[in-house]
Structure 1
Amino acid sequence: MKRNIHPDYRPVVFRDPGAGVAFLTRSTVTSRKTVTWEDGHVYPVVDVDVSSASHPFHTGRGRVLDTAGRVERFRRRYGTR
């Protein structure tokens, strides 16, 4: 790797305020906000809108699309004539 062209790869806290969940991982993202983590160290924090704790797919609150209705409507419009 070339030196001095890559961003710093360091521990960062990602926080989902809507779900009340935060997790510590490593990233190159930058932030001016900081938080004191459970281990007593201060880390930059990034607030995210959606995480696995609040995404409908992971929580089971997702909508079911009516794919059968779409297929039938397609066949009525463009089916064999």
Structure 2
Amino acid sequence: MGVPFEALLPYGIMIGMFAFSAGAVGQLKSMQNGGKPARRGLDAWDRVMLERDRRLTGFMRGQTDKPYAQPGFELNNPWRVESRFI
């Protein structure tokens, strides 16, 4: 005696929704990284370099081949200092 297909419809719907959500999350991560694969296992140096690239190009994973920084970049310092030390 076979299993009626109506009993398997909820499982098909659940598997379809898992597949759709996994694909959507993967696409969103790719879009956030400028079409590049997501980075994993970042250490402190990688985060500093990603922040530098974001300040230079506007994208976290963006890179530039310009030998000189954009105008105003010399004042765009990520270090926060108390006003009494300035």
Same fold, judged at TM 0.5 (above): no
**Based on CA coordinates, which of the two structures has the bigger radius of gyration?**
2
Query: Which structure has more helix as a fraction of its residues?
Result: 2
Q: TM-score, normalised by structure 1?
A: 0.24
Q: TM-score, normalised by structure 2?
A: 0.23
Larger relative CO (CA 8 A, sep 6+): 1 or 2? 1
Query: Which structure has more strand as a fraction of its residues?
Result: 1
